[in-house]
Amino acid sequence: MTEKVDPIKLHKDANALMENGKYAEARDLFSKSADLYYKNQNYFGSAEMTYKAGECSFRLKEYEKAVEFYTKAADVSFAKGFDRYGTSALENAMESHKILGHTKEVDEISKKLDVINKKNAEPEDESSFSVFS
- pLDDT number for residue 133: 47
Q: What is the span of the domain harbouring residue 46?
A: 7-121
Question: Do residues 73 and 62 touch, judged by C-beta distance below 8 A?
Answer: no
Per-residue pLDDT of the chain in tens (133 residues, 90 and over written 9): 556 889 999 999 999 999 999 999 999 999 999 999 999 999 999 999 999 999 999 999 999 999 999 999 999 999 999 999 999 999 999 999 999 999 999 999 999 999 998 888 876 555 555 455 4
130 within a domain of the structure (yes/no): no
For residue 48, what is the domain's CATH number? Answer: 1.25.40.10
State the pLDDT at residue 19: 98
Determine the pLDDT at residue 110: 97
- How far is residue 116's CA from residue 16's CA, in Å, rounded to a whole number? 34
Domains in the chain: how many in total? 1
DSSP 130: -
Residue 20 has φ and ψ, to the nearest 5°, of: -95, 10
